[in-house]
Copies of this chain bind each other. A is one copy, B any other.
Amino acid sequence: MNRFEPNLRIPGPTSLPDAVREAGARQMVNHRGPEFAVLQNSIVARLKTNFRTENDVLIVTAAGTGGLESAIVSFLSPGDKVLGITIGAFGDRFAKIATTYGADVTKLAFDWGTAADPDKVREALKAGGPWKAVLMTQNETSTAVTNPIQALAAAVREVAPDALILVDAISGLGAVPFETDAWGLDVVVSGSQKAWMVAPGLVFVSVSPRAWEAAAVAKMPKFYFDLVAHRTSAESGQTPWTPAVAVMFQLDVALNLIEQEGQAEVWKRHAAVGAAVRAGLTALGFKLLADPKFASDTVTGAYLPDGLEWKAFNGTLRKLGLVVAGGQGALKGKIFRIGHMGHVTIPAILNAIAVLEVALIELGRPVTPGAAVAAAQVAALKSLGLAK
* A interface with B by C-beta (< 8 Å): 6, 8, 10, 12-16, 21-33, 61-66, 69, 96-97, 100-102, 191, 193, 199-201, 220-225, 240-247, 250, 318, 323, 325
Check if B28 sits within 8 Å of A199, measured CB to CB.
yes
Determine the chain B residues whose CB is within 8 A of the CB of A65 once the complex forms.
Answer: 223-224, 240-241
Q: CB distance A201 to B10 under 8 Å?
A: no
Number of copies: 2
Closest to A225 in B: B224
User: Which B residue sits closest to A318, measured CB to CB?
Assistant: B33
* Contact status of A200 and B30, CB under 8 A, knowing A61-B62, A223-B100: no
The answer for the CA separation of A224 and B63 in the assembled complex, in Å, is 9
A105 to chain B, nearest CB (A): 13
Q: Are B97 and A223 in contact (CB under 8 A)?
A: yes
A25:B28 contact, CB within 8 angstroms: no
Closest to A6 in B: B27
How far is it, in angstroms, between the C-alpha of A24 and the C-alpha of B63 when the chains are bound? 17
Q: Tell me which of B6, B13, B221 contacts A102 (CB under 8 A).
A: B221
| Distance from A12 Cβ to chain B, minimum over Cβ atoms (Å) | 7
With a 10 A CB-CB cut-off, give which of A10, A12, A30 has the most chain B CB atoms. A30
- Contact between chains at B28 and A13 (CB < 8 Å): yes
How distant is the Cα of A100 from the Cα of B25 in the complex, in angstroms?
37
Residue of B nearest to A97 (CB): B223
A32 touches B200 (CB 8 A): no
Contact B242 A244 (CB under 8 A): no
A314 nearest in chain B by CB position: B33
Q: Which residues of B contact A244 (CB under 8 A)?
A: 199-201, 244, 247
Given contacts A97-B223, A199-B246, A244-B244, 16 further A-B contacts (CB under 8 A): A6-B27, A10-B30, A13-B31, A13-B242, A21-B25, A24-B246, A28-B199, A65-B224, A96-B223, A100-B221, A101-B221, A199-B244, A200-B244, A200-B246, A201-B247, A247-B247
Q: Which residues of B contact A6 (CB under 8 A)?
A: 27
* Cβ contacts under 8 Å, A224 to chain B: 62-63, 65-66, 69, 225
B200 touches A61 (CB 8 A): yes
Query: For residue A20, which residue of chain B has the nearest CB?
Result: B25
The smallest beta-carbon distance between A154 and chain B, in angstroms, is 30
Task: Give the distance in Å from the alpha carbon of A30 to the alpha carbon of B220 in the complex.
Answer: 34
Distance between Cα atoms of A87 and B211 in the complex (Å):
37
CA distance A245 to B191 in the complex (A): 14
In the docked arrangement, what's the CA distance between A372 and B100, Å? 57
Query: Chain B residues with Cβ under 8 A from A13's Cβ?
Result: 28-31, 242, 245
CB of B24 within 8 A of CB of A25, answer yes
- Distance in angstroms from A316 CB to nearest chain B CB is 15
Complex: chain B residue closest to A239, CB-CB: B63
List 13 A–B pairs whose Cβ atoms lie within 8 Å, in order of A's numbering.
A10-B30, A22-B25, A23-B25, A30-B323, A31-B200, A32-B325, A61-B61, A96-B223, A100-B221, A101-B223, A102-B221, A193-B245, A201-B244
